[in-house]
């Protein structure tokens, strides 16, 4: 379905309602942002962020999504995977297995902060992969934001983008006619050696969702995606994001991020689908 | 072992404070957002810089200003928000002096903060303001010559057709002073003994293409002992290549020793 347009809600003025903290074992400390719900929480989600440069490109957007959901009674815990963002660890420590383990750590932290509240796994872009595994392991509803259906296809996009940037005269005006050399261990500045590329290439969202019980009707899946994207079959709800709100990952340079009324409507529809919401 | 603490100043400024193992009395660094990029910096540059500097005894705060990252909506004057942050950092961490800066818009803001607040003793300016002038044209010519005959032909063709350049330039998008004011302001900072690290990358080639522009922009003070200037034409604006980030880290670490 396409969510109806809603006017943007004013963001919460009281900054004390979100809280930064490190969580997890001392040798694998994760940076987390816990956002309390306005009033008593009726649900809470853990958000698995995108990978690589898409993490910082999406950061404001996902912060605003969490803020709006908090206004509607849904608490959240966002986190950075070990070796990424503000978490501890060198970037070479990041891999898919670690990301999944970190999602478990974040879920445990959220459950500690919000005991007795229904939990939701939420993944954005490549974060859909650890989020789907989290949903399967813990039997949680799953929300996805612009999920990546095919790791191989995404890897190919990154390789092409990396080549474009290395040859870009806007980025490197002094390079003459020779592009900057490729680095087999990096893609668009991020550490991505061959073993990690192989892990990414093996990711298929449909397989992950089937494992999580989508085919048997055991998975409550809600997807907010580009209105032009092919729908994920089996989702209970598909929320169409306008194309202008979904192209943030296509360039390295970050623009200002706003929650426009159509995007706000999608967030509100997710809120309505959470336990205790109007759609439940 | 260095320590990190998330901080919320309650006035719109949030961030992560990285502290060295033992207090060293060095000024506290405040890394401002590069445009809309959150506090971790482009490709995690601020995280690496903060932890690396803390390893040599320098406390560092990487922040989200209003409207960026986890910051609240932008409502007013960021300069006032940051100066209030200085007050809180004095209470929380005993900081009396500050080094402020960062990339692009962060450099623009740091410049204004340094002028407004004498607690600022150092400026880290990555792709800051510069005046174009004649040397800029010389640099442009050098770029074109590096691209060979076909590029030259394209440019000459444009000149013949007198195609107008876009009116939207860095000066429109950035918070820059007027040329005459910039020189006077720089003289004030130098007279105060503010240590300045000014680095221009190749990514700033829309307004900075030749190292002689620095002296042409800021005058005699550009050669002052407290001013450290570099031009890295091979590096892009966001330090995308790991080699460029490593080079930056080393250069900033070396410069930081002036405060020890």
Could you tell me the two tokens for B37?
């990029």
Q: What is the pLDDT of residue A10?
A: 39
Q: What is the pLDDT of residues A238-266, one digit of tens each?
A: 999 999 999 999 988 877 888 999 999 99
Which H/E stretch holds residue B125?
strand B120-126
Query: Residue A31: its chain B contacts at CB < 8 A?
Result: 6, 16
Residues 227-256 of A with CB under 8 A from B: 252-256
Cβ neighbors of B20 (< 8 A, separation 6 or more) are B2, B54, B55, B56, B57, B58, B59
Question: Which residue, among A141, A91, A139, A98, has the nearest Cα to A121 in the 3D structure?
Answer: A141
Whole-model pTM over 0.80: yes
User: Are the Cβ atoms of B36 and A60 closer than 8 angstroms?
Assistant: yes
Q: Determine contact: B141 vs chain A, CB below 8 A.
A: no
Three-state DSSP state, A129: helix
Residue B162, pLDDT above cutoff 80: no
A120 vs A66: CA distance, rounded Å: 13
Q: Cβ(A47)–Cβ(A63) under 8 Å?
A: no
Q: What is the pLDDT of residues B227-260, one digit of tens each?
A: 999 999 999 999 999 999 999 999 999 999 999 8
Residue with the bigger pLDDT between A106 and B167: it is: A106
Q: What is the pLDDT of residues A172-190, one digit of tens each?
A: 999 888 899 999 999 999 9
Q: What is the pLDDT of residue A11?
A: 41
Vertex A62 angle, CA A59 and A66, to 5°: 135
Residue B118, pLDDT above cutoff 70: yes
Residue B98, pLDDT above cutoff 90: yes
User: Are the Cβ atoms of A190 and B43 closer than 8 angstroms?
Assistant: yes
Q: Determine contact: B76 vs chain A, CB below 8 A.
A: no
Distance of CA B249 to the CA centre of its chain: 13
Q: What is the pLDDT of residue B92?
A: 87
Distance of CA A122 to the CA centre of its chain: 7
pLDDT over 70, % of chain B? 92
B60 vs A169: CA distance, rounded Å: 34
Q: What does the mean pLDDT of chain B come to?
A: 91
Question: Which residue, among B199, B260, B259, B233, has the nearest Cα to B45 in the 3D structure?
Answer: B199
Residue A1, pLDDT above cutoff 60: no
Q: What is the pLDDT of residue B225?
A: 97
pLDDT over 90, % of chain A? 83
Residue A17, pLDDT above cutoff 80: no
Q: What is the mean pLDDT of residues A96-100?
A: 98
Residue A12, pLDDT above cutoff 70: no
Q: What is the mean pLDDT of residues B187-213?
A: 97
Q: What does the mean pLDDT of chain A come to?
A: 92
Q: What is the mean pLDDT of residues B21-45?
A: 95
Q: What is the pLDDT of residue A7?
A: 42
pLDDT band at B153 (very low <50, low <70, confident <90, very high): confident
Query: Residue B240: its chain A contacts at CB < 8 A?
Result: 165, 171, 188-189, 252
Residues 19-78 of A with CB under 8 A from B: 19-22, 31, 33, 53, 56, 59-60, 63
Q: Cβ(B166)–Cβ(B146) under 8 Å?
A: no
Residue of B nearest to A26 (CA): B3
Query: Residue A84: its chain B contacts at CB < 8 A?
Result: 44
Q: What is the pLDDT of residue A16?
A: 42
Side by side, which strands form the sheet with B227-232? B3-8, B14-19, B60-64, B28-31, B98-103, B120-126, B195-201, B227-232
Q: Cβ(B239)–Cβ(B111) under 8 Å?
A: no
Residue of B nearest to A191 (CA): B242
DSSP character at residue A150: B
| CA distance between the termini of chain B | 19
Could you tell me the two tokens for B148?
């060979």
CA of A177 vs chain B CAs: smallest distance (Å): 6
pLDDT band at A279 (very low <50, low <70, confident <90, very high): confident
Residue B163, pLDDT above cutoff 90: no
Strand partners, A274: none
pLDDT band at A13 (very low <50, low <70, confident <90, very high): very low
Query: The complex's ipTM?
Result: 0.91
A185 vs A121: CA distance, rounded Å: 31
Vertex A195 angle, CA A192 and A197, to 5°: 50
Query: Residue B43: its chain A contacts at CB < 8 A?
Result: 53, 56, 189-190
Could you tell me the two tokens for A79?
């986190």
- The dihedral built from the CA positions of residue B9, A72, A144 and A24, taken in this order, carries a sign that is positive
B110 vs B107: CA distance, rounded Å: 5
B54 vs B29: CA distance, rounded Å: 10
């Amino acid at each position: 379905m396409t969510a109806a347009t809603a006017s943007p809600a004013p963001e919460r003025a009281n900054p004390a309602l979100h809280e930064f903290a490190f969580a997890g074992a001392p040798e694998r400390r994760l940076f987390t942002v816990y956002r309390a719900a306005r009033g008593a929480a009726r649900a809470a989600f853990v958000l698995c962020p995108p990978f690589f440069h898409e993490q910082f490109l999406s950061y404001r957007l996902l912060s605003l999504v969490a803020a709006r959901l908090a206004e509607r009674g849904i608490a959240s815990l966002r986190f950075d995977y070990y070796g990424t963002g503000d978490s501890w660890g060198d970037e070479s420590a990041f891999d898919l297995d670690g990301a999944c383990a970190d999602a478990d750590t974040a879920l445990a932290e959220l459950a500690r902060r919000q005991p007795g509240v229904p939990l939701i796994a939420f993944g954005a872009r490549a974060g859909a992969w650890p989020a789907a595994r989290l949903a399967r392991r813990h039997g949680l509803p799953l929300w996805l934001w612009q999920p990546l259906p095919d790791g191989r296809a995404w890897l190919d996009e990154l390789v092409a983008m990396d080549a474009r940037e290395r040859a870009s005269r806007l980025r490197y005006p002094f390079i003459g006619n020779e592009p900057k050399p490729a680095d087999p261990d990096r893609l668009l500045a991020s550490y991505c050696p061959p073993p990690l590329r192989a892990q990414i290439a093996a990711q298929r969202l449909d397989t992950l969702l089937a494992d999580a019980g989508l085919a048997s009707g055991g998975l409550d899946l809600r997807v907010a995606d580009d209105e032009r994207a092919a729908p994920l079959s089996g989702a209970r709800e598909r929320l169409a994001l306008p194309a202008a709100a979904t192209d943030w990952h296509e360039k390295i340079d970050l623009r200002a991020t706003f929650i426009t009324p159509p995007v706000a409507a999608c967030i509100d529809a997710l809120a309505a689908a959470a336990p205790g919401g109007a759609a439940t | 072992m260095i320590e990190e603490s998330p901080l919320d100043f309650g006035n719109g400024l949030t961030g992560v404070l990285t502290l060295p193992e033992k207090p060293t009395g060095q000024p506290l660094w405040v890394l401002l957002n590069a445009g809309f990029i959150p506090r971790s910096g482009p490709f995690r540059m601020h995280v690496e810089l903060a932890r690396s500097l803390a390893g040599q005894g320098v406390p560092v705060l990487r922040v989200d200003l209003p409207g960026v990252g986890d910051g609240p909506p932008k409502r007013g004057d960021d300069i006032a928000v940051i100066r209030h942050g200085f007050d809180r950092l004095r209470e929380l961490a005993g900081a009396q002096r500050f080094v402020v800066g960062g990339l692009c818009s962060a450099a623009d803001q740091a410049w204004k903060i340094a002028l407004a607040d004498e607690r600022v003793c150092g400026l880290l300016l990555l792709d800051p303001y510069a005046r174009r002038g004649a040397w800029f044209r010389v640099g442009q010519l050098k770029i074109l010559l590096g691209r060979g005959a076909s590029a030259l032909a394209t440019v000459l063709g444009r000149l013949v057709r007198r195609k107008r350049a876009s009116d939207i330039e860095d000066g429109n998008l950035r918070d820059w002073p007027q040329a005459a004011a910039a020189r006077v302001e720089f003289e004030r900072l130098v007279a105060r003994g503010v240590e300045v690290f000014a680095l221009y990358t190749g990514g700033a080639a829309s307004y900075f293409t030749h190292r002689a522009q620095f002296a042409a922009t800021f005058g005699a003070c550009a050669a002052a002992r407290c001013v450290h200037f570099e031009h890295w034409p091979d590096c892009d604006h966001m330090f995308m290549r790991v080699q460029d980030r490593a080079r930056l880290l080393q250069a900033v670490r070396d410069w930081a020793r002036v405060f020890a």
